[in-house]
Structure 1
Amino acid sequence: MKVKQVSVFLENKSGRLARVTQVLGNNNINIRALSIADTTDFGILRLIVNDPDKAFTVLKEDGFTVSVTEVLAVEVRDEPGGLSNILEVLKQAGINIEYLYAFLQKASNAALVVFRVEQIDEAIIALQEKNVNILAGDEVYRL
């Protein structure tokens, strides 16, 4: 149920994001989803890729500061209120969301949203109890 997310610390300099994508492309690693949070001096690039372990290794070898964290890829009904329903389940379970971002493609007729939560195992249980589909890492990497 958990998905590996690769996070890359980027200096806020021209060409750094281009270099990340070049390294990934040269190593046949496909980006499935991404998010960038930035400040004036640096940014954190969060990636879901088809091969997170290899991405970690090649980016580290190229001199980037890289980490891997576990996130959830949750199917959200692609209709008004779909995301609100998921957020309500997590709120009722007392699960704090650190951040979330949308996935670039769909696994079915639902949208995919990536969630980073404080209590990942408890979030999985709460969502499953409400019949929310959480994709496994292997499913996400193959999309």
Structure 2
Amino acid sequence: MLVEQLAVFLENKSGRLAEITAVLAQNNINIRALSVADTADFGILRLIVDKVELAREVLKKRGFPVNRTKVVAVAVPDRVGGLASVLEAVSGGGFNVEYMYAYAHRADGSAVMIFRFDEMDRAVALLQEQGFALVSTGEICAV
């Protein structure tokens, strides 16, 4: 089960992030999860939103380079060693974590981590075999 994520490349200058969030708000698009990584020259804003295609369209119209990528949302036990158990399973399978970020805490007592792996389909299969619950886009947008 894969979740669609938008990756927006933006100049590393004041106001660009505010502009993106304003554009999304003006179009009634809800941000459910995000991560920002930067370098000296540019940043990468990774977003999970409730209206992926509309968000992509409005951001492109405003001149932002936008890519769609697939990520995995994993319910991680919210306890000492919860994240370690997921990472141990992935490491044991020989997969590399390209990046990850936290999403939210769920009512069932788990946290949600968003992952991008070097081999997405195989990583998903391994996580499911190991009994980890994957979280769908619908579940992310419902929290």
Which interval holds the TM-score relative to the shorter structure?
Answer: over 0.9
Shift of 1:50: 1.0
How does 1:47-126 map onto structure 2 within 5 Å? Answer: 47-106=47-106, 108-126=108-126
Q: Distance in 1 between matches of 2:107 and 2:69?
A: 22
Runs of 4+ in structure 1 deviating by more than 3 angstroms, as ranges, are none
Task: State whether residues 51 and 141 of structure 1, in contact with CA within 8 Å, keep that contact through their aligned partners in structure 2.
Answer: no
Q: Distance in 2 between matches of 1:94 and 1:126?
A: 10
Unpaired stretches in structure 1, ≥5 consecutive residues? none
Q: Distance in 2 between matches of 1:136 and 1:47?
A: 15
Q: How many pairs does the alignment contain?
A: 143
Q: Distance in 2 between matches of 1:15 and 1:105?
A: 29
Q: Secondary structure of the equivalent of 1:28?
A: coil
Please report the TM-score for the alignment, with normalisation by the length of structure 2: 0.96
Task: State whether residues 50 and 142 of structure 1, in contact with CA within 8 Å, keep that contact through their aligned partners in structure 2.
Answer: no
Shift of 1:142: 2.8
Determine if the alignment matches structure 1 residue 30 to structure 2 residue 30: yes
Unpaired stretches in structure 2, ≥5 consecutive residues? none
Shift of 1:139: 2.1
Q: Secondary structure of the equivalent of 1:135?
A: coil
Q: Distance in 1 between matches of 2:81 and 2:107?
A: 19
- Give the counterpart letter for 1:79 in structure 2: R
Please report the TM-score for the alignment, with normalisation by the length of structure 1: 0.96
Percent identical residues = 50
